[in-house]
Amino acid sequence: MERMVNSAILTVDDDPAVSRAVARDIRRRFGDRYRVVRADSGESALEALRELKLRGEQVAVLLADYRMPHMNGIQFLEQAMDLFPRARRVLLTAYADTSAAIDAINIVDLDHYLLKPWDPPEEKLYPVLDSLLEAWLATPEAASTETRVIGHRWSEPSFKVRDFLARNLVPYRWHLCDDPEGRRLMTAAGATEDDVPVVITPEGKTLVKPSTAELAGSVGLSTTPASDFYDLVVVGAGPAGLGAAVYGASEGLRTVLIEQRATGGQAGQSSRIENYLGFPDGVSGAQLTDRARRQALKFGAELLSTREVSGLEAAGPTRVLHFTDGSKIAAHTVVLATGVSYRLLDAPGLRELTGRGVFYGSAATEAPSCTGSDVYIVGGANSAGQAALYFSRYAARVHMLIRAPDLTKSMSSYLIEQIEGNEKIVVHPCTEVIAAEGDEHLERLTLRDMPTGATRTVETSWMFIFIGAEPRTDWLDGAVSRDERGYIVTGPSLITDGTRPHGWTLPRDPYHLESSMPGVFAAGDVRADSVKRVASAVGEGAMAVSVIHRYLEAQ
C-alpha cells in the first residue's frame, strides 16, 4: 500500500519490554505506511507530539498504557487531544483496569481499549488498528508543508510578517492565536499570546517575534552575499532592478540583486496590470515578479533579501556599497533601482492605526478579511484604481477618496471605464481624510468636503492609502546628484551650460542613465524624469546593462 507521508502512530508505555513489543508488532504490520514513534512516559510522548505538530506532521493513532507513573494513559490522551484532536485513541490496559478504560470512553472519547496480552496480534491488535486507521483516513488532518503564522487579527507586527511572506512569494498559513488550531500550535511551541507573532517553519523551527532578517533566513531567502566583489550590483528588486538583473546575469556579468523588503516593489503589489505588453488578459504584480525573479536566478544572479544599503562611495575604479549592519559589498558597476515609496498621509490617528486597519499599498493579504465590509481607498492614480477593482471582489462597497474633481488627470482610461462600470465602487471627488479613530483597530474616519469644508464621520475598519510617491534616496546624499525632490539625475541632464557635473573625472560626458558617479547608473522610477510605468522601468533596467558593457569596455 502507499505510504502515508508525514503520518505517525505513537505508542507510550513505561515498561520497556511492553513498549518494545507493541512498537515491534505495529511496525511489522504498518511500518511500510506509517512512522511508528515510541515513548516511555506521558511527558516524553507529549514532547514528541509537540515536535510532530510543529513539523506539520499527522498522527493517526495514539496507543497509551493506562498504568504509568506521574501521568497515566487517560491523562496523557486528554492532553494529546489538544494537539491532535482527530487522532484515534487506544488505551492499553490489564483486565483489572477495564472499568477505568470504560470510564475513559467518556473522558477522552476513547475509540478502543486493548487488554494485555494482545497476542496473537493478527487476531487482537491488527483488526482494531485496521479499523481505526480506515476511519482516520476518511477524515485526516491536513499535513502542513507551509510556513505557519500565528498572531492577533489587529496586530501591526503580525501584519508585517504576513505581508513580508506574501510579497516574497513564500507560501504560509495564517492562524489566529485564539482559534482552535492556533491554540494547538501555540501549545506545541510553548508560546503564549504575549509572544505573537509566532512563525513555525515547515521543518518545525519556531520563531517568536522574528525580525525580517531572521524570518528571511528561516524561510529560505538568501541574506548573505556569496562573494565580496561583483561585476554588477543592482539595488532594488522592482521591475527596473529585476530587468537589470536578468539582462546582466544572462550576458555573463557576475550580478547580485539587493532588496530591502520584497521583490516586485510597488508593481509587485498590483492586483492586476492590464497594459503590460504581451499580457492581453492582464497579469498580477505577484505573477510578473515571480517570473522575473525566477528568470534572474536561472541566469545565475544572486538575490539578497532584507538588506538595507546605507551608503555608496567610489574607491578608484571600484564602487563600494555599505549596509546598515556595517558590512559592505563592492563591484565594477552599480544600478540604482530603488523605486519610490508611498507618501504618508498626515492626519491624527493614522500613525497609531497603521497595520491595524490603515495600510499603505494594496495589502492584498487583507482582502479576504474585508468580505462584506466597506473599504476606503485614498488616491486616484492607477495603483489606487487597480486596488479598488480588486477589493470590490470582496467588499460590500469600495469608496475612492480623491482630492481632484475626477479621475481623468491621474488614471488610465481603461481603469476609469472599469470603475465606472462597477456598481460596488463609489468615487468621492474633492474629499480628504482629516482623522482616524479606533481602539484596537480602525473604527471610523472623519472626511472633509474640500469645497465646502463640511465634515462627516464614516464607520469602517479598512483604509488603503495610495497618495503619490517619493524616492528614498537620502542615503545617497553627497554621492550622486539628485534633483530638488530627491530623484537621481542622469545622462545629459547632468550637463549644465556645457559643464559636466562636479567631481566628474572622465574625459567623456555621462552616458545615458549614468549618474554623476561614473559606473553608477539609475533606472526606473527613482530616476529623474522617468516614465512611471512598469514597461519603461523594465526597459531602463535592460538598457542600463547595455550601457554598462560600454563602460566596462572603456575601463
Collapsing DSSP states into helix, strand and coil, what is residue 4? coil
> Is residue 296 a part of any domain in this protein?
no
Amino acid of residue 391: F
Give the integer Cα–Cα distance in Å for 47 and 53. Answer: 10
| Cell numbers describing residue 70 | 506521574
Give pLDDT, residue 97: 64
**Are 28 and 128 in the same domain?**
yes
Give the integer Cα–Cα distance in Å for 55 and 174. Answer: 16
**Are 429 and 511 in the same domain?**
no
Region label for 263, one of left (φ > 0), alpha (ψ between -120 and 50) or beta (otherwise): beta
At residue 3 the predicted structure's pLDDT band, cuts being 50, 70 and 90, is very low
Amino acid of residue 358: V
> Is residue 287 a part of any domain in this protein?
no
**Are 430 and 511 in the same domain?**
no
Closest CA to 500 of 481, 524, 479, 477: 481
> Is residue 534 a part of any domain in this protein?
yes
Number of other CB atoms surrounding residue 483 within 10 Å: 13
pLDDT at 341 over 90: no
Phi, psi of 26, deg, nearest 5: -70, -40
Cell 547632468 belongs to residue: 494
**Whether 392 contacts 424, CB under 8 Å:** yes
Of 181-190, 373-382, 426-435, the range with the lowest mean pLDDT is 181-190
Give the integer Cα–Cα distance in Å for 248 and 235. Answer: 13
Closest CA to 464 of 394, 412, 525: 394
Range of the domain at 197: 147-218
Q: Which of 138, 173, 206 is the last residue in one of the domains?
A: 138
Task: Tell me how many degrees the CA angle 400-153-205 measures, rounded to the nearest 5.
Answer: 125
Give the integer Cα–Cα distance in Å for 424 and 431. Answer: 19
Q: What is the DSSP string of 165-197?
A: HHHTT--EEEEETTSHHHHHHHHHHT--GGG-S
Give the pTM: 0.77
**Whether 526 contacts 471, CB under 8 Å:** yes
> How many residues are present in the chain?
555
Region label for 165, one of left (φ > 0), alpha (ψ between -120 and 50) or beta (otherwise): alpha
Give the integer Cα–Cα distance in Å for 185 and 189. Answer: 6
pLDDT digits 0-9 by tens, 478-510: 999 999 999 999 999 999 988 999 889 899 999
Q: What is the DSSP string of 479-511?
A: TS-B-TTSPBP-GGGG-BTTBPPTT--SSSPPP
pLDDT at 9 over 60: yes
Give the integer Cα–Cα distance in Å for 518 and 270. Answer: 34
Give pLDDT, residue 4: 54
Give pLDDT, residue 166: 86
**Whether 432 contacts 445, CB under 8 Å:** no
20 vs 270, more confident: 20
> Is residue 477 a part of any domain in this protein?
yes
Give the integer Cα–Cα distance in Å for 325 and 264. Answer: 24
**Are 163 and 309 in the same domain?**
no
**Whether 230 contacts 284, CB under 8 Å:** no
Closest CA to 462 of 402, 393, 391: 391
pLDDT at 250 over 90: yes
**Are 114 and 164 in the same domain?**
no
CATH of the domain at 157: 3.40.30.10
Share of the chain above pLDDT 90, in %: 69
At residue 1 the predicted structure's pLDDT band, cuts being 50, 70 and 90, is very low
At residue 391 the predicted structure's pLDDT band, cuts being 50, 70 and 90, is very high
Q: Which of 168, 192, 218 is the last residue in one of the domains?
A: 218
**Are 365 and 440 in the same domain?**
yes
pLDDT at 271 over 90: no
Phi, psi of 334, deg, nearest 5: -135, 140
For the chain, give the mean pLDDT: 91
**Are 46 and 127 in the same domain?**
yes
Closest CA to 515 of 331, 250, 336: 336
Cell 503619490 belongs to residue: 468
**Are 479 and 333 in the same domain?**
yes
Distance of CA 460 to the CA centre of its chain: 25
> Is residue 165 a part of any domain in this protein?
yes
> Is residue 1 a part of any domain in this protein?
no
Bridge partners (DSSP) listed for residue 315: 318
Q: Which of 451, 467, 483 is the last residue in one of the domains?
A: 467
**Are 407 and 547 in the same domain?**
no
**Whether 86 contacts 139, CB under 8 Å:** yes
CATH of the domain at 321: 3.50.50.60
**Whether 13 contacts 65, CB under 8 Å:** yes
pLDDT digits 0-9 by tens, 155-186: 999 999 998 998 888 888 999 998 998 999 99
**Whether 546 contacts 523, CB under 8 Å:** no
Cell 523588503 belongs to residue: 261
> Is residue 50 a part of any domain in this protein?
yes
Q: What is the DSSP string of 321-364?
A: EEETTS-EEEEEEEEE---EEEPPP--TTHHHHBTTTEEES--G
Domain count, the chain: 4
Give the integer Cα–Cα distance in Å for 289 and 268. Answer: 6
Q: What is the mean pLDDT of residues 298-304?
A: 96
Give the integer Cα–Cα distance in Å for 259 and 344. Answer: 21
348 vs 272, more confident: 348
Collapsing DSSP states into helix, strand and coil, what is residue 521? strand
Of 167-181, 261-275, 319-333, the range with the lowest mean pLDDT is 261-275
**Whether 539 contacts 508, CB under 8 Å:** no
Collapsing DSSP states into helix, strand and coil, what is residue 150? strand
**Are 17 and 133 in the same domain?**
yes
> Is residue 181 a part of any domain in this protein?
yes
Amino acid of residue 53: K
The set of residues, in sequence order, having a beta carbon less than 8 Å from that of 454 and lying 6+ positions away, is 448
**Are 134 and 24 in the same domain?**
yes
| Cell numbers describing residue 141 | 488532518
Phi, psi of 48, deg, nearest 5: -65, -40
| Cell numbers describing residue 41 | 512516559
**Are 248 and 321 in the same domain?**
yes
> What is the side-by-side strand order in the sheet with 397-401?
358-360, 462-465, 374-378, 397-401, 425-428
The set of residues, in sequence order, having a beta carbon less than 8 Å from that of 407 and lying 6+ positions away, is 380, 385, 400, 415, 416, 419, 427
CA distances from 362 to 382, 413, 416, 465 (A): 12, 20, 18, 8
